[in-house]
Homo-oligomer: A and B are copies of this chain.
Amino acid sequence: MNRIVRVGLVQHAMGPDLEENRQASLDGLAQAASDGADLILLPELHASEYFCKYQDPALFELAETLDGPTRHALTDAARHHGVVVVGSIFEKRAPGLAHNTALVIDSDGSLAGTYRKMHIPDDPGYNEKFYFTPGDLGFVPIQTAIGRLGVLVCWDQWYPEAARLMAMAGAEILLYPTAIGKDPDDNEDEQLRQLDAWRTIQRGHAVANGLPVLACNRVGFEPDRSGGGHDAEFWGHSFIAGPQGEIIDEAGTESEVLVADIDLARGEQVRRIWPFLRDRRIDAYADLLKRWRD
C-alpha cells in the first residue's frame, strides 16, 4: 500500500519590497500546485530580506501577527489551490516579544497549526538572538489533510534531538524552511564542506527516523544594508530526501520550484528492516537533558 504525496518546494530570492516577495511566493505556490503538489513548502522568512544580518530595533516593524498579511496571502492560496502550505513569518506576539514562526495552512485554508523556532542561532551576519525569542511550543507535529507534519526551522536542522522528538510524536515528514548561505570570506573548499554538512545532517535525520525530509532554502545575494559588511549569499540547494536519506530531487542555486512524489508508506517499511526505535536505550539517555557531562 503506497501513500503518495506530491510535494513542492518554492526556492526563491527576496528583495526589499515585501509585496514583491509575497508575490514571488504566491507565483511559486501556483506553479507547484499546477504541477500537482499537495504539500508546498516555502523558505524561512519569505516575506522579507533576511534582516538578521545586523541588529536594528527599527526592523521589528517587519514583524506581523499570526493574523497578518502573510497568513492571509497563504490562506487564500491554500484554499484556492486546495493544497497544504507551510510558510514562515517574523511573528509579532506582543510589543517586545517576537518569534520566528512557521505557519501550516491546511488545504481548506484553515490554520492547522504553528511552530515557533526552538533553536536560535547567533553568529556574525545571523543575529537571530536579538530578534527572536526561543519558541515555547515545543516539538509538536501538526496534523493536516495530507499527513502529520514535523515542521522545524533552519537552525533546528542541526539538532538530531529535534528531529527525533518530532518522529516520536508521530510526524510523517520532516520539513525545514531555511535561510542559509555561504560566507564569501571562506575558500571554496570550506564553502563546499558547509553545504555538504548541511545536506548530510538532514539526510541523517531521515535515516535515524525513517522519515522523508524536505528542506527549502532561499537563494540570491542580499547586501548588508547597515554597511556592516555581512552581505549574505544564500546557497539554495533545496532538496527532497526519502526515509533512507536518499536524495529524490535537489535544486540548484537559482530560483526554482521543485516538485516530486514521496511515499509516506515507505517509512514504515524502512523502520521494519531498521527498527531503530525498538532499541533506543532510554534507560541510559538521561544526560541528554544536561548542558554538558562534566
CB distance from A197 to the nearest CB of B (A): 5
A binding-site residues for B, Cβ under 8 Å? 118-121, 123, 134, 138-139, 155, 158-162, 164-165, 168-170, 193-194, 196-197, 200-201, 203-205, 207-208, 242, 244-246, 273-277, 279-282, 284-294
5 closest Cβ pairs, A-B complex = A204-B204, A160-B160, A169-B293, A201-B207, A168-B293
Q: State the oligomeric state as a number of copies.
A: 2
- Note all chain B residues with C-beta closer than 8 A to A288: 161, 164-165, 168, 282, 285, 288-289
User: Cβ of A291 and Cβ of B281 under 8 Å apart?
Assistant: no
Query: B291–A280 contact, CB under 8 A?
Result: yes
Alpha-carbon distance between A276 and B161 when the two chains are bound, in angstroms: 12
A162-B119 Cα distance, complex, nearest whole Å: 21
Contact yes or no, B118 A281, CB < 8 A: yes
Mind listing 7 A-B residue pairs with CB under 8 Å? A120-B279, A159-B280, A165-B285, A200-B203, A200-B207, A203-B204, A282-B291
Cross-chain contact A193 with B246 (CB below 8 angstroms): yes
Query: What B residues does A204 contact at CB under 8 A?
Result: 160, 200-201, 203-205, 207-208
Contact B292 A277 (CB under 8 A): yes
| A244/B118 in contact, CB under 8 A | no
Q: Which residues of B contact A165 (CB under 8 A)?
A: 284-285, 287-288, 293
Complex: A277 Cα to B290 Cα, angstroms: 11
- Find chain B residues with CB under 8 A from A139 CB: 284, 287
Which chain B residue has the least Cβ–Cβ distance from A192? Answer: B246
Whether A280 contacts B119 by the Cβ 8 Å rule is yes
- Min Cβ gap A271→B in Å is 11
Of B121, B168, B245, which one neighbours A279 at CB under 8 angstroms? B121
A289, B289: Cβ atoms under 8 Å? yes
Question: Across the two chains, which residue of chain B brings its CB closest to A288?
Answer: B288
How far, in Å, is A160 (CB) from chain B's closest CB? 3
